[in-house]
Structure 1
Amino acid sequence: MTSTRRSWPRSTDWLWLVGAALAFGCLDFGLFLASEPTTGFLGPYATLVLELVCDASLLLLARFPNGVAGLLIAASLAMLASDLFSPGLLVPTHQPTLMTVPTITPIVLAQLVRQLDRRRLLWIAGFLALLATRPWNPAWNTTPFGLLSTALPVAVALYFEARRQLLSSLRDRAERAEREQHLLAEQALAAERRRLASEMHDVVTHRLSLMVLHAGALGVTSPDPSVKSAAEDIRREGAHALDELRDLVGVLRNGTGIEPPVPNPPLPGEVADLVAESAAVGIATELAVTGDRTSVSPTVARTAYRVVQEALTNIRKHAPGCSATVSLRYHPEGLDVAVVNTSATRPPDAALAGSGSGAGLSGLRQRVELVGGTFEAGPVPGGGFKIGAILPAYVPTTEGAAR
């Protein structure tokens, strides 16, 4: 098993690496002052220089783990050879500690757990443990402390590394399970939407088509002008309902076709009618339209119409005597709709305010999000209320593309 390597430590790792190197450098300098100097031809500072070089190698461990491990083995071999064959050359004749390897050895071995593959790490740790414990000449002042400085740090580091990998694996499994659960929920929702689309297409569309045909036939055959006018109204509204139902079925099916922009969508005139109706019942309402009205598709246009319709309906129910502004801003990316009203000047009618299901805004939000838009509703500073939506230029639906 191979651990992940980094070419250089992260910036957050440099602090403790430099701190550890400095701490062990100070420790080695203190041990040098407390011990006898070396007496060989390498001079009295041979032990200190060797220890400081090993301490400084900690900074290169992330980039050159094999080189640092090789330096540590070479230093340990040199210290052992000096102790066995030339006392006083690299280590003092009487050492102040029971360590027979460089003092930085436990830290380097613990960090090599993340830098080297497991087999190479165990070979290095085993060889250093052999040099540190000297099994050919066991003694109470070498064997236990040799194991403490080599085998123990590796065992502890392996335990924490295995624990970290286990926690990471459990976390990945939990995230994967959550993603799978979310995917299953989306699949179930998509299946339900397709079922509803099929039922609406097979049942509701069929009945509406029959109604439109019967109304058209009645308008042709009836001699009464009022009946003909009523039949024409029924036929026209039924045709509009079929158009909206066809778009809604396409959205529910979540097809892959692209609904192209259609010139002169019916939205602006219809919104103007809504504004006129609102003004006719005593709500001073203004309409502001900017941009090219041909940049949005009929599905988006009808969604914007529903936003304005619901907003003006709420104003009539809950803010009598106020004034309102309807804003439509067309742009290449879509359409921005905003309806803002001032504070009410008189209490609302209790019967009128209590009518309805109370789910108008939530249903409107779902309708806007269904076509890929964003919806907002809330009070504005100074009193009043604002309902707005940011809609895309078109909705990618199979039904819309087929039209």
Structure 2
Amino acid sequence: MTSIRRPMWPSRADTFWLFLPAAAFTGLNVLYHVLGDRTTGALGPAAGLVLQICCDLALVLLFRFPALVAGTLVAAAFAMLGSDLFAPGLLVPVHPVALMTVPTITPVVLAQLVRVLDRRTVLWLTGILAVVATRPWEPSWSVTPFGLLSTVLPVVITFYVEARKQLLRSLRDRAERAEREQHLLAEQAGAEERRRLAGEMHDVVTHRLSLMVLHAGALGVTSADPAVRTAAEDIRREGALALDELRDLVGVLRNGAEAGPRTLSPEAPGDPARLVEESRSVGVPTELAVDGDPAQVSPTVARTAYRLVQEALTNVRKHAPGATVAVSLRYHPGGLDVSVDSTAAARPPDPALAGSGSGAGLAGLRQRVELVGGRFTAGPAPGGGFRVGAILPPYVPTAEGTRCDPGARGR
């Protein structure tokens, strides 16, 4: 079995918090050596200082070799204990400046070992070092409290901090999970509502429109009056277009679900050129620029563009009398780019005409564009005019669009 190779230092912060205490405790031990008594045994006057510095410098290897560092600390503690009991002055001065009877770096090492070793091992190490540090066989107010402060207290504090971090992390994960679940529930509710609306539109509105188209067709056949036949044909044609668009919308709302059998209307999607001509006929100077092949997009997308141009020109007539308009349609393999740019109004709008709308035209356009997977923009243009635009995909990936839209083939 291969052993886990730990990094020397997991992060820059870990590197800093290992080297800083190692350097600080090394300096502290040198200060104790200078100000206090020296060791007097056979190992020389600096034996205790060398032992302390070895433990201090071992701290920088803790993340890579935690067991080795822990073993070094325990061995040094037992060596100090043995020197104090059987050879006073060998590794610990007879009258030390510090009241700790274990290496001075012990609190830092134990606190860091909590992060890299399992809890049971850390508790065993803490217990062993606590016995060595407190020396319960010789209770003393100058030894026991410092022994507990240098061994048990840092481990308890570190366990508390780690437990609190885990609790906060768990609460954060639960909050994020609850937020995701709430978002999914909202999406499911929206999908259910769209399916319900699609079902009602398909079962009720489509039925009524179909009856209207049939009655108009029958009236055009049976009536002897040419004006009535012409009106009936207009009603039948517009009803068929509305029925075709309604079926497309039902397919989009159902996210590709089957909307029942469909028969294509013979009429193509509305031509924006007709809207431009209508706008010119009522005195609004309107220019149309078409680039590319309209056959590159599906009828559903073309109808969406038609509705956008229609709503934008209607808004110009209502709110910007005297303005000039430029309509641009750019067809390309990636879809269709539509823009309707108008200049500033030349005169104040008619209050009755401006207040005749519902105020939700642009919002409805945005929703319609987003339903087919496009991006909608609307806002003031430089010079005081207004711009309405959209970037539309080449086709809508619904079951109906795939089956019935020529633009969906081969994509």
Structure 1 length-normalised TM: 0.91
> Match of 1:150, SS?
helix
One-letter amino acid matched to 2:104: T
One-letter code of the match for 1:331?
H
**Which letter does structure 1 place at the counterpart of 2:141?**
W
Find out whether 1:96 has 2:61 as its counterpart: no
Is the 8 Å Cα contact of residues 251 and 257 (structure 2) preserved in structure 1?
no
Per mean C-alpha deviation after superposition, the further-off stretch among 18-27 and 360-369 is 18-27
Task: Name the counterpart of 2:251.
Answer: 250
1:87-114 Cα distance to aligned partner (Å, 9 max, x none): 2222222211111112121112112222
Q: Hey, what's the Cα distance between the residues in 2 that align with 1:60 and 1:331?
A: 62
The answer for the alignment partner of 1:36 in structure 2 is 37
C-alpha distance in 1 between matches for 2:403 and 2:292? 27
Matches within 5 A, 1:277-356: 277-356=278-357
Instruction: Describe the superposition over 1:265-308 as per-residue Cα deviations: whole angstroms up to 9, x where unpaired.
Output: 945x6111122222222222222223342332222221122222
Paired residue type of 1:10: S
Who is 1:111 aligned against?
112
Letter of the 1:225 counterpart: P
1:59 aligns to 2:60 (yes or no) = yes
CA distance in 2, matches of 1:219, 1:25: 105
Distance 2:382 2:52 in 1: 71
C-alpha separation in 1, matches of 2:268 and 2:41: 101
Q: Aligned to 1:40, what secondary structure does the other structure show?
A: coil
TM-score between the two structures when normalised by the length of structure 2: 0.89
Alpha-carbon offset, residue 218 of structure 1: 2.2
SS in 2 for 1:88: coil
Equivalent position amino acid for 2:121 in 1 = R
Q: For the Cα contact (< 8 Å) 1:342–1:385, is it kept in 2? A: yes
User: Which residue in 2 is equivalent to 1:84?
Assistant: 85
Give deviations 1:179-217, integer Å, cap 9, x for gaps. 222222222221111111111111111111122122222
Distance 1:291 1:99, change over 3 A: farther
Deviation for aligned residue 1:227: 2.3
Deviations 1:20-67 (A, max 9, x none): 222222222212211222233433332223222322232222222222
* Contact 2:83–2:92, Cα closer than 8 Å, also in 1: yes
Question: 1:155: Cα distance to partner?
Answer: 0.6
How is 1:144-223 mapped onto 2 (pairs within 5 angstroms)?
144-223=145-224
Cα separation, 2, equivalents of 1:17 and 1:381: 60
Deviations 1:207-238 (A, max 9, x none): 11122122222222333322222222122111
What does 1:236-247 align with in structure 2 at a 5 Å threshold?
236-247=237-248
Q: Distance in 2 between matches of 1:385 and 1:15?
A: 58
CA distance in 2, matches of 1:218, 1:123: 97
Aligned to 1:371: 372
**Amino acid of the residue matched to residue 369 of structure 2?**
V
CA distance 1:41–1:292, change in 2 (3 Å): farther
Deviates more, 1:325-334 or 1:234-243: 325-334
Asked if structure 2 preserves the Cα contact closer than 8 Å seen for 1:256 and 1:396, the reply is no
Give 3-state SS (helix, strand or coil) of 1:282's partner.
coil
User: What amino acid does structure 1 have at the position aligned with 2:249?
Assistant: L
Residue deviations 1:309-357 (CA, integer Å, cap 9, x gap): 1111111111111222222223333222222211111111111111111
CA gap 1:59/1:387 in 2 versus in 1, 3 angstroms = farther
Moved over 6 A (4+): none
5+ residue gaps, structure 2: 259-263, 405-411
Partner SS state of residue 90, structure 1: coil
Preserved contact between residue 395 and residue 401 of structure 2 (Cα < 8 Å) = no
SS at match of 1:179: helix
Q: How does 1:17-32 map to 2 (within 5 A)?
A: 17-32=18-33
Contact between 1:266 and 1:301, CA under 8 Å: does it hold in 2?
A: no
Question: For 1:99-148, what per-residue CA distance to the aligned partner results, in whole angstroms no more than 9, with x for missing partners?
Answer: 11121211121122222221111111111111111122222222111100
Higher relative contact order (CA 8 A, sep 6+): 1
Letter in 1 for 2:70: A
Distance in 1 between residues matched to 2:18 and 2:133, nearest whole Å: 24
Query: What SS does the aligned partner of 2:310 have?
Result: helix
- Structure 1 residues not aligned, in runs of 5+: none
Cα distance, 1:256 vs. partner?
A: 6.0
Corresponding residue for 2:409? none
More moved, 179-188 vs 189-198: 179-188
- Tell me the CA shift for residue 247 of structure 1: 0.8
